[in-house]
Amino acid sequence: MRVLVTGSRGYIGSILVPMLLEKGHDVVGLDTNLYRQCTFGKDGPQIETIMTDIRDIQTEALAGFDAVIHLAGLSNDPLGDYQPQLTDEINALASIKLAEMAKAMGVKRFLFASSCSVYGAAGEAFLDETSPFNPVTPYGVSKLKAETGLRKMADDDFSPTFLRASTAYGVSPRIRFDLVANNLTAWAFATGNVYLKSDGSPWRPIVHIEDISRAYAAVLTASRDAIHNQAFNVGTTAENYQIREIAEIVSEVVPGCRIEYAPDAGPDKRCYRVDCNKIARVLRDFKPQWTLVRGVEQLYDAYKRVGLTPNEFEGPNYSRIAHVKDLIDKGELTDSLYWTDAASSTDG
């Protein structure tokens, strides 16, 4: 299958692309290469990549693809909150426009990277794909808006599928340290403290990025009837944790560390538990292989190899929002997150 992966050089894309190649797919990437200076360890395989902003993609570029996996976007709440109108423009409006162009060019499948953030503030009840939406951040709102727009395009020739990922974690060449398991393990390794910025009470569903990638691979080859205009919570139901439980697991894996709460730690309004039984039932080829304990062990081993420091994971090297602001301050990126003439989106 010939597949276009947007965000191919991002946190999940750099794991998903080699997985798809191993399964024999013909993969082309699309990426503005915003985080090219943020490579953690070795980069992934080099593939043909359309170097452009998702807002600027032209219809003709989508010719000849059987499927689009759309990962590109502003990927977390700090970035989403930074300029909410950009979050809407990139995550929602540009996603809908991309799908319209893909449909016009005869692309049959459109896999959209949605998020369990669409459930938002939901308490302790388990949520399945039919549960009410209650997004509480611009990021969550943008994902819901995109889903709503894409659903209207579904017909006999165009099948959108919505993969609502649980909170991701795991090692990647474009690692993110804003994600709770990645962040807590980094604090534990680099400082000896598992540093909690909330009171630890909120619930989160957790899923490794390799298992997220396996979900996309399973949807690509699933029967059309099984995935047409369907949403799937991505993860396993057993992998729902309160933040303090994640901290406890980290403290058990990383030797000599202790749990510490920030002075202003309070409750987080983002709180939800997710039922992932549908994806297990419908997508028989989706076989998750990671648990949080194994994932924290993987993270800890990776941090030891590179000698990770707090200045790296909290600063512009790897913090998404800090990196973007640094590029803007240097004049390499505009306030609208376009490359300036002082920089380019080619490899650096």
* Mean pLDDT for the chain overall: 93
Please give the Cα distance from 115 to 162 (Å, whole number). 9
Range of weakest confidence among 190-194, 264-268, 302-306, 314-318: 264-268
Kindly tell me if the per-residue pLDDT of 346 is higher than 60. Answer: no
pTM summary value? 0.95
- State whether residue 259 is helix, strand or coil: strand
**Percent of the chain scored above 90 by pLDDT?**
78
Please give the Cα distance from 306 to 185 (Å, whole number). 14
Domain ranges of the chain: 2-175+207-237+274-289+320-329
Instruction: Tell me the pLDDT tens digit for each residue of 225-246.
Output: 999 999 999 999 999 999 999 9
Instruction: Tell me the pLDDT tens digit for each residue of 110-124.
Output: 999 999 999 988 878
Q: Residue 348 — very low, low, confident or very high, per pLDDT cuts 50/70/90? A: very low
Q: Residue 42 — very low, low, confident or very high, per pLDDT cuts 50/70/90? A: confident
Question: What pLDDT score was predicted for residue 271?
Answer: 85
Question: What pLDDT score was predicted for residue 347?
Answer: 44
The mean pLDDT value for 177-205 works out to: 92
Where residue 120 falls (left for φ over 0; alpha for ψ -120 to 50; beta otherwise) is left
Asked whether the beta carbons of 121 and 134 are under 8 A apart, the reply is: yes
Kindly tell me if the per-residue pLDDT of 316 is higher than 90. Answer: no
Instruction: Tell me the pLDDT tens digit for each residue of 3-40.
Output: 999 999 999 999 999 999 999 999 999 999 998 888 89
Closest listed residue to residue 232, CA positions, set 167, 289, 135, 161? 161
CA 76, chain centre distance (Å): 8
Please give the Cα distance from 303 to 281 (Å, whole number). 36
- What's the sign of the alpha-carbon dihedral 258, 264, 266, 270? negative
The mean pLDDT value for 85-94 works out to: 96
Please give the Cα distance from 142 to 303 (Å, whole number). 33
Where residue 150 falls (left for φ over 0; alpha for ψ -120 to 50; beta otherwise) is alpha
The mean pLDDT value for 285-301 works out to: 97
Burial class (CB in 10 A: 0-12, 13-18, 19+), 347: exposed
The CATH superfamily label for domain 2-175+207-237+274-289+320-329 reads: NAD(P)-binding Rossmann-like Domain (3.40.50.720)
Q: Residue 203 — very low, low, confident or very high, per pLDDT cuts 50/70/90? A: very high
